[in-house]
Each structure stands twice: as C-alpha cells, then as structure tokens.
Amino acid sequence: MEKQNVTEFVFTGHFGSKQTELVFFFLFLLCYLAVIMGNLIILLTILCSHLIEQPMYYFLCHLSLMDLCYTSTVVPRLIRDLAATRRSISYNSCMAQLFIVHWLAAVEMFILVSMAFDRYVAIVKPLHYMVIVNRKRCNLLIAMGWGLGFCHSIALLLMVLNLPFCGPNQINHYVCDIKPLLKLVCKDIRLVSILVIANSGTVVIVIFIVLFASYIVILYNLRMRSSAGRRKALSTCSSHIMVVVLFFVPCIFTYSFPAGGKNKDKEISVLYTVIAPMLNPLIYTLRNKEMKIAMGKVWGRMSHSQLR
C-alpha cells in the first residue's frame, strides 16, 4: 500500500484575480447573511405561530434548519479563504467537512422527499391526511432522514479514509468534496469512482425521479379540485418543485459523472451550497399567502411587545 504522507490540503479552486476574489468575498458574505436572515425568519415565524402544527410547515422548519447548518459548514470558510493568502485545511478537518457536508445534504434531500409525501397525501388522499401524516410519522420521517443520511455519509468517509494521498495536495475547489479529493489519490480510482457514483450520483437521480413522478401524480389529481383549491395547491406545489430543481439538478451534474478531466463542479456546487439555501426562504414566503399572514402576525406581535 502507498504511503500516506499528506497532512493538509490547499484550496486552489477560487475565482480568478485578487480584485475578482474581493468582489466575490463581499458577494458571498451578502449571500450568507441573506441565508441566515431568511431561514431564521422562516424558523421563528413557524415556531411562534400555529403553522408548526401543520406537517407541511413542520417539514419546512426542518428544511430551513438544514439550510442554515449546511451553508454554515461551507460558506464561512469560503469567505475567509477569499480574503486569505494561504488557504489550507488539515487532513482531519477536511475529512470532517466531507462527512458533515454530505450528511446534512442527504438529510435535506430526505426532508424534500418528506415534503413531497406530505403534499401527495394532502391532495391524493385528503380524507385520510390527518391520520396518515400525524406528528409521530413526521418525527419518524425526519429521524429516518438523519439515519439514512448518516449511513450514506459514513460509507463515503470510510471509502476516502482508505485511499492513499501521497503526492499533490492542492484541491481545485473551495470545499473538501469527494470528486476533487479523488483526483489527488495516488492509485487507480476507476473502481472507487464507480462506487462514488453508486453511493451519491445514483441515489440523487433515483430520489429526483421519485420526486418528479410524485409531483406529476399530484398535478394530475388536482383536476378534481375546485378552482380555488387548485390555485392554492398549485402555488404550494410549484414552490416545492422550484426548490427540488434548484437543489437536485446541480447535484446530479456534480455526482453522476466520474472524477477526472475538466469539469465545472466548483461553479455548479455554488448553486446548491449558496444560491438554493438563499432562495428557498424567498420561494416559500413570496408564493405562500398563509406564510405571509403568519409572518405579519408574528413580527407585528414582536414589534408591539418591544414598543410596550
């Protein structure tokens, strides 16, 4: 077995000249602040209103929490590195980041699946909705998401820990991810690449197809609703579909192809690590009348209590 002698990695995958990176520094800082503010507003609005009793908003609350946690594992280091001269990360920290990023991303995917399941039952089996999607089952779905996400992430981590890094240590990316790491391995990676695609790429594609099929069935069943009910359901479902597309399509492009050669993984990953978590709160508030009313009541109540 090749000798393991890499103790740290150096990120080289940033965004051009120093002036350009300064622009990106402020841009990503603003994006990160928007992610924090937007998702905290959704979290507080749901937790401080009657919406927390509804399964759809219960899942949305968990989605906002995941967006906060997931983005916070990537963007603060990216912002720091854009302003730094040396952009290194220790081997152990790199492995920890790889594990946490994939765990949280997998949990987010399963939350999106749970949200699709909730809408499917609400529209296809409305009379049994409260029985099927009760709080106990909601908690079970969230726990399953954490458990399955952990299994996915630990399998990926164990795979990487058994690989020898004995030469170059420059990662052409801004985060420790599986594909840029595979390019640094000093042995044949064809089998490992297939396993990575099976572990990440295939799972992402299958989940996306299942979600897409479920929304087709949901939209088909909306024909039987009244025009008012159809409009409300379409507004909710279109928000879910936009979020699913924003998150899954870039992930499919990133993880469904083998490592090696030139690709745009770095640029594409910005979409699901920064842009999607920033846009999710806007998508769910601007297109959701119930959410806007709850926000008005909660934040109005808070403002009134402060004035008193």
Report the CATH number at residue 263. 1.20.1070.10
Instruction: Kindly tell me the burial class for residue 171, based on how many C-beta atoms sit within 10 Å of its own C-beta (0-12, 13-18, 19 or more).
Output: buried
Query: 28 is written with which tokens?
Result: 């990503």
Residue 238 in domain = yes
Q: Give the long-range contacts of residues 279-283, CB within 8 A, separation 24 or more.
A: 279/246, 280/38, 280/39, 280/63, 280/64, 280/67, 280/243, 280/246, 281/38, 281/39, 281/41, 281/42, 281/64, 282/38, 283/239, 283/242, 283/243
Q: How far apart are the first and last CA of the chain?
A: 70
Residue 308 in domain = no
Instruction: Using the predicted structure, report yes or no on whether residue 67 has a pLDDT greater than 90.
Output: yes
The parent domain of residue 295 ranges over 8-301
Report pLDDT digits (tens) over 165-177: 887 888 888 889 8
Residue 307 in domain = no
Residue 1 in domain = no
Query: 43 is written with which tokens?
Result: 């979290």
The total number of structural domains that make up the chain: 1
Q: What is the mean pLDDT of residues 68-91?
A: 89
pTM of the model: 0.89
Q: What is the mean pLDDT of residues 97-122?
A: 93
Residue 32 in domain = yes
CA gyration radius for the chain? Answer: 21
Q: What percent of the chain is predicted at pLDDT more than 90? A: 36
pLDDT value of residue 106: 93
Report pLDDT digits (tens) over 210-223: 998 988 888 888 77
Residue 106 in domain = yes
Name the DSSP letter for residue 184. T
Residue 205 in domain = yes
pLDDT value of residue 1: 44
Give the bridge partners for 88, in sequence order. 10
Identify the residue with better confidence: 115 or 238. Answer: 115
Identify the residue with better confidence: 60 or 306. Answer: 60
Closest CA to 178 of 168, 195, 137: 195
Pairing mode, strands 170-171 and 88-90:
unpaired
Instruction: Using the predicted structure, report yes or no on whether residue 302 has a pLDDT greater than 80.
Output: no
Read off the pLDDT band of 264 (50, 70, 90).
Answer: confident
Residue 213 in domain = yes
